């Protein structure tokens, strides 16, 4: 009766050998964590942008989660493969259809602009609706509350000085920008996702390319 569990563990170990991971060697769990696509910094086409220089390995390993983190099959090629899609199992998770429909309808009906927010070191991806914020101050406040941190004040020259964190976003062209660089309305329509960077790259931001 214990065989299935150990067979399962063996499978995990075998898989582990072939996977590229975010976690430290030795951390291995089935837990799903956000798959943060690593994209090369693209050559900026617009002169107004200050794209961030990103390299493949610069995301800090999710050390904070310790044993909570898991292996993710990661593809660091130029053509980043989409995250493994799952065949949907009929009737799973066990939720009534009217519930599922209602959630879907609400996100569509509200006309919300939902973007994913990830933070370096946090195991959870969040989704926020940009439409509900009136401007940058509200958005930043919300992010601070959500992730329990201080982001600090934005300055065009120096970025988010005095903070270990910098909110960045990926825009329509695939460039990573500092939140606050462009007028709010332009930001709302061009932002594809948010990422709160931490550590050295955060402090290094703000310098014009």
The Cα–Cα gap between 12 and 149 comes to 35
The Cα–Cα gap between 184 and 180 comes to 7
Q: Which two tokens stand for residue 9?
A: 């563990």
Q: Interacting stretch for other proteins, rule CB under 8 A, among 23-31, 48-56, 159-167, 176-184?
A: 23-31
The Cα–Cα gap between 15 and 144 comes to 37
**Which listed residue (15, 132, 186, 209) binds other proteins by CB under 8 A?**
132
Binding mask 40-69 for other proteins (x = CB under 8 A): ---------------------------xx-
**Residues within window 155-184 making contact with other proteins, judged by CB under 8 A:** none
Under 8 Å between Cβ of 179 and 20: no
**Which listed residue (10, 42, 63, 127) binds other proteins by CB under 8 A?**
127
Q: Interacting stretch for other proteins, rule CB under 8 A, among 14-22, 29-37, 52-60, 192-200?
A: 29-37
Is 24 or 161 the residue whose CB approaches other proteins more closely? 24
Secondary structure of residue 170 in the 3-state scheme? strand
Q: Residue holding tokens 């951390």? A: 27
Is residue 31 within the footprint of other proteins (CB under 8 A)?
A: yes
**Which listed residue (24, 35, 115, 130) binds other proteins by CB under 8 A?**
35
Helix (H) or strand (E) segment spanning residue 120: none
Q: Please give the order of strands across the beta sheet that includes 165-171.
A: 126-129, 114-119, 191-198, 165-171, 176-178
For other proteins, how many residues bind (rule: CB under 8 A)?
Answer: 49
CA-atom Rg of the chain in angstroms: 19
**Residues within window 82-111 making contact with other proteins, judged by CB under 8 A:** 83-86, 88-100, 102-103, 106-107, 109-110
Q: Residue holding tokens 């009766």? A: 1
Is 35 or 188 the residue whose CB approaches other proteins more closely? 35
Q: Which residues bind other proteins (CB under 8 A)?
A: 1-5, 8-9, 12, 28-35, 67-68, 83-86, 88-100, 102-103, 106-107, 109-110, 116, 123-127, 132, 145
């Amino acid at each position: 009766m214990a065989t299935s569990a150990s067979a399962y563990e063996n499978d995990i170990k075998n898989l582990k050998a072939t996977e590229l991971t975010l976690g430290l060697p030795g951390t291995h769990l089935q837990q799903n964590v956000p798959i943060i696509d690593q994209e090369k910094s693209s050559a900026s086409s617009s002169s107004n942008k200050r794209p961030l220089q990103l390299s493949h390995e610069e995301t800090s390993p999710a050390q904070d989660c310790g044993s909570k983190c898991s292996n993710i099959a990661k593809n660091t090629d130029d053509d980043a493969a989409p995250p493994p899609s799952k065949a949907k199992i009929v009737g799973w998770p066990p939720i009534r259809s009217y519930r599922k429909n209602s959630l879907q309808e609400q996100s569509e009906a509200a006309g919300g602009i939902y973007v994913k927010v990830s933070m370096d070191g946090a195991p959870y991806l969040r989704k926020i609706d940009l439409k509900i914020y009136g401007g940058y101050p509200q958005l930043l406040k919300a992010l601070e509350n959500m992730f329990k941190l201080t982001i600090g004040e934005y300055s065009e020259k120096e970025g988010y000085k005095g903070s270990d964190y910098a909110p960045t976003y990926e825009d329509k062209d695939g460039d990573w920008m500092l939140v606050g660089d462009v007028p709010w309305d332009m930001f709302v329509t061009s932002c594809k996702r948010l990422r709160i960077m931490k550590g050295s790259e955060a402090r290094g931001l703000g310098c014009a390319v």
